[in-house]
Structure 1
Amino acid sequence: MTLTDYLPVYRLRLRTDRLELRLPDLDDLVALADQAAAGVHGPDFMPFATPWTECEPVERGRRTLRWQMGVIAGMTPEKWMLPLVVVLDDQVIGMQEVGAKDLKVTREATTGSWLGFAHHGKGLGTEMRAAVLDFVFNGLGADYATSASFEGNGPSEGVSRKLGYKADGIEHHVLGDQRRVDNRWRLSREDWEANRKHEVAIEGLDDDVLAMLGLGDAGK
């Protein structure tokens, strides 16, 4: 038996012109922790509802490892998250997550991501989100994808608008003693199809993977 016999989702590969997205092995986890330790964002803006980056570099890497392992270990067909590493030229450069709750019924998935700071501003954020959107709509047959970005996070908002998302209301979060506005974004299948700009190859998506993601006999 191999790892993919027990966890078929490890067979998944999403490929674009420049990127490969996959679940991380141990070497990938170390490389991702290195990216986190080196920095994820500038000092003047916190993009995360949980400020996990506010610590020393080694602790940022350690938190990354723990979070990734915990999310993978906690997957169930009813509620799951795939914390995919993003690979460019054989180098792990960041993380793109995609997840859902009761996907068979809701037909809705959500995404989140981060890139090592050195890789910002190169269009990679758009390309990696396009990869998981193709997986969500074309691979899993979802009707909607959602995302969110704090007010003032221009790059994330730009990716959402470029890919066809529409504003979907706001939420308030408290970070420290400050109220932060979180802008919600929603993408329908129709708007995704109208704004597709990246070709995506999905590999390893079979009945065993679909069952792990809550689709089971219902398929797509």
Structure 2
Amino acid sequence: MTSPARSALSAVMPTFGLQVRWDDLELRLADDIELLTLASLAANGVHNPEAAPFSWPWTRGTDEEVERNVLAHQWKNRCRTAADDWALSFAVFQEGVVVGEQQISAKNFQVIRSALTGSWLGLRHHGHGIGTRMRLMALHLAFEGLDAAEMISEAYDDNPASNAVSRRLGYVANGSRATAREGSSVIENSYRMTRELWDARPDDLRPEIALEGVSPVRRLFGIDQPKQSTLRENA
């Protein structure tokens, strides 16, 4: 049940009223108290210490440094609501417990209808299929709620879990490139899910996913433009 405070906030900032639900999982923007829980989760571990799955090393440093990185990232993305540059950095809840983050971001989406996903899970929540499910929820929102034409996912060659999720959900390979990561060269793979691939997905990738609060977000992001008056002034 949405609290009165959250309802008041979403009336001004519609992204706070957006929710994606599938059985025990929910995606929504976290409030500041929930953000502290998300930050603490990240500080307790997102990946094995020797891994480097992200383009910038926000998981490196002391617990306090990691927590500040999470808060700064979330607070920055709350303000990315322009039609030509927006981001939805959802906290992922499983039975009300924060387990990770799922992001959708886009530039010029109202023109090209293309967006990018990214995500992470607390280390103790790995291996339970949550990553696949929350990506599918993000795709459902993008295609069924926001009218995406394509969705892009990127993963380093040495991040087998993320690569596997993209392949499992039916993305097609979209090329690879060498990029710099923490002072070293690494191969980054790109995957593409088109509207056609999404519509043709098998039945086991068609769960009952509920969307709430989509219409105000569509208007905020410039997806639904207000109709222009066709009335002419009297000469």
What TM-score, normalized to structure 1?
0.94
Q: 2:25 aligns with which of 19, 38, 44?
A: 19
Equivalent in the alignment of 1:173? 179
**1:201 maps to what in 2?**
210
Aligned to 1:2, the other structure's residue is in SS state helix
What residue is the counterpart of 2:73 in the other structure?
67
**What is the Cα deviation at residue 191 of structure 1?**
1.5
Amino acid at match of 1:175: R
> What residue is the counterpart of 1:90 in the other structure?
96
Give 1:186's aligned residue. Answer: 192
- Decide whether the 8 Å contact of 1:14 with 1:20 is kept in 2: yes
Alignment partner of 1:136 is 2:142: yes
What secondary structure does 2:120 align onto? Answer: strand
Match of 2:232 in 1: none
1:172 and 1:80 mapped to 2: Cα distance? 27
Query: Using the alignment, how far apart are the partners of 1:170 and 1:183 within structure 2?
Result: 4
> Quick check: 1:130–1:198 contact (8 Å CA) kept in 2?
no
| Counterpart amino acid of residue 203 in structure 1 | E
Distance 2:56 2:173 in 1: 22
Q: Retained in 1: the 8 A contact 2:20–2:211?
A: yes
Q: Which gives a bigger RCO, structure 1 or 2 (Cα 8 Å, sep 6+)? A: 1
Percent of residue pairs bearing the same amino acid type: 38
Equivalent AA in structure 2 for residue 90 of structure 1: G
**Structure-2 residue corresponding to 1:215:** 223
Output the amino acid matched with 1:201.
A
Whether 1:28 and 2:34 are equivalent positions in the alignment is: yes
Distance apart, 1:172 and its partner CA: 2.2
CA distance in 1, matches of 2:111, 2:80: 20
Q: Which runs of 4+ in 1 moved over 6 A?
A: none
Residues 83 and 110, structure 2, Cα contact 8 Å, conserved in 1: no
Q: Distance in 2 between matches of 1:100 and 1:62?
A: 24
The answer to whether the Cα contact below 8 Å between 2:131 and 2:165 also exists between their aligned partners in 1 is yes
On the 8 A contact 1:16/1:131 being kept in 2, the answer is yes
Work out whether residues 102 and 214 of structure 1, in 8 Å CA contact, stay in contact via their aligned partners in 2: no
In the other structure, the counterpart of 1:56 is 62
Larger radius of gyration: 2
The aligned length equals 218
Read off the aligned partner of 2:182 and give its amino acid letter: G
TM-score, structure 2 length as denominator?
0.88
Q: Where does the alignment leave 5 or more consecutive residues of structure 2 unmatched?
A: 1-6, 228-235
Counterpart code for 1:11: G
Using the TM superposition, give the Cα deviation of residue 197 of structure 1 relative to its aligned residue in structure 2, in angstroms: 3.9
| CA RMSD, 1 decimal | 1.5
- What's the counterpart of residue 3 of structure 2? none
- For 2:44 and 2:74, the matched residues in 1 are separated by 17
Distance 2:218 2:125 in 1: 32
1:127 touches 1:198 (CA, 8 Å); kept in 2? no
